[in-house]
Structure 1
Amino acid sequence: MKDSRIAADGLVLLGCGKMGSAMLAGWLKRGLPPTSVWVTDPAPSDWLQGQGVHLNAELPDAPALVLVAVKPQMMAEALPTLREMGNADTVFVSVAAGTPISYFETVLGADTPVVRAMPNTPAAISRGITAIVGNAAAGARALDEAETLLRAAGEVVRLEDEAQIDAVTGVSGSGPAYVFHLMETMADAGEAQGLPRDLALQLAKATVAGAGALAMEAEEDPAQLRRNVTSPNGTTQAALEVLMDARNGFPPLLKRAVAAATERSRELSRG
């Protein structure tokens, strides 16, 4: 990232909460000079103040990229302050939930390159996955720059259409909470079978983390990995007969959960 247009022309980070801080830490670790970064944040953390970036200072006239990481309720106040950067070469990348590309085009101008991104919270340890989609003005260059930047937070995938963002929100955006709840309920179930709470939670967390790591490394898909550990008439099969029940098991439950998150995302985008 040292020799990129971002390093040369500068990066503006509008908002630097947990997600913004996680991404900034990743960029700096990958070699982006702190002097190439301008951060606008009304309540900067102690960590941010010690990074050597331009903090709440006058912004460059034409930075290479602006990452919009403010909360949706702050968008109407914060975004218009950058209107002069619109309709030019500056690429706007938004990780703000529920804010469609059309909003940016209305505020900044229809010819503004805009990339909408949906990350998830494992970005904080560079193990997230982010889906991106751009408007007509963005083109291949803007998407490439956004992907380069967002890879600091983990994997990046490109969508064919902005409408897919809502389903991405339902699967990966909200997905970490589903997995955390799985850990909780596994620990509860282990405790109900006589295990101490701390041990049950340790077993649940390590099992979910290990299974996830195996799924990422293995050549087989998750369905095959499941079959690999399921002996006929064994303990795993007994559990899976409950979990895979067509009426009350994981399949219908997760479909309803993802559908609910997806629909809520659509509602937020409509305002």
Structure 2
Amino acid sequence: MIVLFALRDMFHTIWHPSGQGSLSRLVIEGIWRGSRLVRRRSNQTSMVGPVALLAVILTWGLLILAGWTLVYWPHMAEGFSFGSALNPSQRADFVDSLYLSLVTVATLGYGDIVPTYGWLRLAAPLEALIGFALLTAAVSWVLQIYPALARRRALAVRLALLKRADAARAIPTLDSSAASTLLDSLADELIQVRVDLTQYAETYYFREVDATTSLPALVPYAVELARAARTAPRQDLQLAATVLEEAVGDYAHLLRQQFLPSEGTTDETLQRYARDHGHSN
């Protein structure tokens, strides 16, 4: 049951469309809350996400190791044969079970303890397969998360550059279609980030020290751009502004549902989002 629980959590965290397993969420949220207790939070911010990922992977590994140890332990005396180099007087059933589970899940297979029962001879290779699956899942998880983080940071940098250029002041007066194209592209990128956050909920817990790469610090500027563009006389620009504002509102709704459970307007949610990541607007 322990092994199946760990495998279920791995599946829901990495491959299930809804995002995150219950155990991994508890581990990540615990580390997130713990990091907020650190006084000099700015020095700890960028490490919270990677440490949380490592903690979840270690938790999965420990559960699988413990579960298989409990499978071997009751049968250690009579269900296994031992190599001649092992000293019988120094043997301990639990330690031997833990050792066998560790070398099997790590796919080392030293061969000094060998199962003799038929079903145990099938169980040991199965544990090795699960150990290989754990390694594959960990690599797959990292390869999935960091592209999503890169897209989020790229959107933040783009908003930061627009803010430096004071685009909100200039955008209502532009006569070309470039303004509506700009807002449409921002809406598309924000929709992609929203999908990433749904699929990989753990990306929420990655903080950025630099406000230039922090979407929580800069997403309110997308609202400012949209509201400025809605005062323009051109209908295509007004439509693009409405779509962008709706995209931000949908993103804020997701934040309220999964991470910031409280009622409030889009502006209030975005303010809490920024504060939760160590930024203020």
- TM-score in terms of structure 2 length: 0.24
Q: Is the radius of gyration larger for structure 1 or structure 2?
A: 2
Relative to its length, the structure with more helix (as a share) is 2
Q: Which has the higher contact order (CA 8 A, sep 6+)?
A: 2
- TM-score in terms of structure 1 length: 0.25
